[in-house]
A and B are shown apart, each in its own frame.
Chain A
Amino acid sequence: MRNDPTPQQLDPLGGITARLIVIVGGVIALVIAIGMSAANASEISNPLLAVAAIVALGLTAAYFVRVSSPYRAPLRFHSHVIICLGAIGAIALEALSQWGTNTLIRDDWGPITMAIVVITLGSYRPPLELLAGAFASATLVALIAVGVSMSGSLVTPVPLTVFIVTMATPVLAAGIASAAFSASSIRSHRSWQRELDAGREVAPFTQDAPTGHLAFLHGTVIPFLDSVVTTGELGADDGARARRLAQELRVLMVLDSEQSWLTGVVDRFDDPARVAHELDSAQRASLRAIITHVQSSAAFAKGTARLRLGLDNGEAIGVLETDVVAVGNARVQLAPFIAIARRAFPESETQLTASRFTLTFRI
């Protein structure tokens, strides 16, 4: 369950799309918490705990914004747990801040704000985990509701079940909704991928002029052999010429076989251990995209992209570096490329300073 693929892993750009909602949701939750605390100030018996509850909610929202960054993708299981516990902690602190003075549960902000925060988790975690989290969170919130009802200050003449329903419903509904969102996203993505694989075309057509040994073969060797076939005679120099052509052809074939697909893609590259051939298609395409971007974007210095591939204790690693001109633009522009790169290279690290961008990855 914890290691199941998530919508963010399958579609990293979807994770970036959802992040704006995470940020806006966090702000809305904080505004609601502060607004409702002010509106129901008469129900607060411990202002310090009321402030602590808002701070806990703010920290939870800020943590969610941080871990949903494409630079830290994917959002992990432990982050899901921390977000849920943080929001439940805020609910508990709010309940304690109104201990003995809380007259109505339905004007408490805790469950509503938790619903706003957790509903966006659907883009970041697998459905079964979200479902389990929803039921676990709702159970803890129900226990808090039982505690609040035991404080004896509630005035609404309804059974305990209604208090539990009032507090737990937003959390449970949001959690189940996020699980359904996650399941649907994953189902749709896999269906698309299956269709893509089934109808895959081998490759685009590109009629390039032959290069390297093929150019030599078609331009020199085959015409020579053809002349031998056509004339049916060997001249005095033809034997020596055939030996020379064979030798040159062998040299060119060896040189061509040592060429990497990175030739012409990046400004400079070092690959003494010939690691480039070990990259799969997703990794190659991801590197191509990011290299092409840093070479064409005004945020990076032209002609400074360098890729080093090699072995580190027997493990293949790579380092892509380039000089930065405008760090603010670079960070925003790079986000989609980093999100995709982190899917292709799960063990990767990004460093972006005012002067340099470095992507280190394990293959």
Chain B
Amino acid sequence: MSQVLPAPLAAQHNNLALGDGAYWFGVVCLAASFVGIGSIAVARPGFPAWAVFPALGIMAIGGTILFLQRARSIPLLVLVVGIELLGLAWYAHTVFVYQNSQPADPRAASDTLFITLVTTAMLMFGVTAGRVLPGITSVIVAYALATTTVIVLAIMTGHEVVPDVTATGVFLVLVLVLSLLRVSRRRARALEPDFVRADSDDSAAMVRERAANRVSALVHDTVLNELAVVSTREPGPVPDNVRERIAASIAHVIAENAQGHAEVRPGDRLGGAVADAVDAARALGLAVTVEGDVAAVSELSPPVAAALGLAVRQCLENVFTHAGTDSAEVALIAGDRVLTAMVVDSGRGFHEEGIGPDRLGLRNSVRKRIEAVGGTVQVWTTEGVGTSVSMTVPSS
């Protein structure tokens, strides 16, 4: 079994889970606002709470659209931003007008609690949008839009502009946590190539053992019998039926041995430019093992498959030329609309920043080529331990 989730998929899963968690956080904030304002409306019949509830509903709908969205759609994101701003403006207007009507109670006039709840909800929906807009951009945009809307509404309604310390604190904590997560993930998964290699070595060892066991059983049933027959015969001509039996036994053993190797050759199902890259590296003398979702390569569009194949070829050439090892692994991992190819070696490793200007392979043939088809490249390398180049490309 695979010991670790590949880093690109870990980032994808983490983003998805953060988006789900943030969505429910936002929904609870909106629900809390509903309950709080509802209880005030019951206690104070003069409060036009009915105007707040549709606004909260609109904001919840916007958040739910983001929650259900799985692929980036700029028009849909713009629509959601519009829905959220409409709901927030409606809500803030109602709350500010009510607070302005309570001049006898200065605390009620400046209380930001209910504004904080909806601003926090909008920030959380910004995190949910981060599932299709990686990075912290969506959170920053959500905070800027929410804060600006609240300030504009406060000025328009003649309400005191009160800094929302809590919402700003939530924003800062979110930005810090999202930034730290990237750093922490990179650190925690820096040794991923070691686990990939251990998985690969173990699979190879087990297959070799199974193949050897099969041949051994056959040897026991055939070759040892033939040797026993030969050892008990007198010198002289060997009858035809004995010769035929010995020949059949030899053929069986040779065929079983060949089958044992053929069975463990997933690279045969690998097609296209990636297969060409593997064959080219093997022709150089590099022992390349291929594992994972080899069939997923056929789902790539022709330009993406060609770019990935050429990038894998460059990586394998780099291993052959620079890594100081004669073996490498190519692992293929199919994700949700993406395919990740990892080229792993246990060679001498390097510092990517320290590569001389004459060695353009990683920068041009790998990074730029993959990025040109909408993919990403990550490199983990430790001097003396090895290198793993992870290339994630969109699949059809």
9 A-B residue pairs with Cβ-Cβ distance under 8 Å, sorted by A, are A169-B117, A195-B293, A195-B334, A203-B291, A204-B289, A226-B250, A228-B238, A249-B224, A340-B195
In the complex, whether B185 has a CB less than 8 A from a CB of chain A is: yes
Contacts of A184 in B (CB 8 A): 13, 16-17, 19-21
A313–B229 CA distance with the chains assembled, in angstroms: 48
Whether A292 lies near B117 (C-beta < 8 A) is: no
Whether A199 lies near B188 (C-beta < 8 A) is: no
Measured CB to CB, the closest approach of chain B to A156, in angstroms, equals 6
Given A169-B28, A234-B234, A288-B198, A246 contacting B243 (CB threshold 8 A): no
Interface residues of B (CB under 8 A from A): 1-5, 9-10, 12-14, 16-25, 28-29, 32, 35-36, 39-40, 42-43, 105, 107-108, 111, 113, 117, 124, 166, 169, 173, 176-177, 180-181, 183-185, 187-189, 191-192, 194-195, 197-209, 212, 215-216, 219-220, 223-224, 226-228, 230-238, 243, 246-247, 249-250, 253-254, 257, 261, 263-267, 269, 287, 289-296, 329, 333-335, 384-385
Given A24-B177, A225-B250, A340-B195, A204 contacting B264 (CB threshold 8 A): yes
Whether B265 lies near A17 (C-beta < 8 A) is: no
Contact among B17, B25, B236, B247 for A233, CB-based, below 8 A: B236
Q: Which of A164-178 contact B (CB under 8 A)?
A: 165-166, 169, 172-174, 176-178
**Interface of chain B: mostly helix, strand, loop or mixed:** helix
Contacts of B113 in A (CB 8 A): 106, 162, 166
Given A11-B5, A336-B188, A181 contacting B17 (CB threshold 8 A): yes
Whether B231 lies near A188 (C-beta < 8 A) is: no
Whether A243 lies near B231 (C-beta < 8 A) is: yes
Contacts of B23 in A (CB 8 A): 180
Contact among B25, B42, B296 for A177, CB-based, below 8 A: B25
Whether A161 lies near B28 (C-beta < 8 A) is: no
Q: Which residue of A lies closest to B67 (CB)?
A: A180
Measured CB to CB, the closest approach of chain A to B366, in angstroms, equals 22
Contacts of B1 in A (CB 8 A): 281-282, 285
Contacts of A239 in B (CB 8 A): 230-235
Whether B28 lies near A228 (C-beta < 8 A) is: no
A146–B188 CA distance with the chains assembled, in angstroms: 44
Q: Which residue of A lies closest to B43 (CB)?
A: A159
Whether B198 lies near A217 (C-beta < 8 A) is: no
Given A177-B21, A181-B20, A257-B216, A13 contacting B206 (CB threshold 8 A): no
* Other A-B pairs, 16, CB within 8 Å; known A158-B40, A192-B13: A11-B13, A13-B5, A21-B184, A106-B113, A165-B36, A184-B13, A199-B295, A203-B206, A204-B203, A205-B289, A205-B290, A232-B237, A246-B224, A249-B227, A336-B195, A340-B4
A17–B22 CA distance with the chains assembled, in angstroms: 18
Contact among A13, A213, A284, A298 for B188, CB-based, below 8 A: A13
A188–B19 CA distance with the chains assembled, in angstroms: 13
Contacts of B24 in A (CB 8 A): 173, 176-177, 179-180
A155–B185 CA distance with the chains assembled, in angstroms: 46
Whether A169 lies near B32 (C-beta < 8 A) is: yes
Q: Which of A281-335 contact B (CB under 8 A)?
A: 281-282, 284-286, 288-289, 292-293, 296-298, 333
Whether B243 lies near A292 (C-beta < 8 A) is: no
Nearest 9 A/B pairs, CB to CB: A204-B289, A161-B39, A181-B21, A289-B198, A201-B266, A203-B207, A184-B17, A173-B28, A177-B21
Measured CB to CB, the closest approach of chain A to B267, in angstroms, equals 6
Whether B235 lies near A236 (C-beta < 8 A) is: yes
A243–B226 CA distance with the chains assembled, in angstroms: 10
Whether A201 lies near B181 (C-beta < 8 A) is: no
Contacts of A285 in B (CB 8 A): 1, 3, 195, 198-199, 202
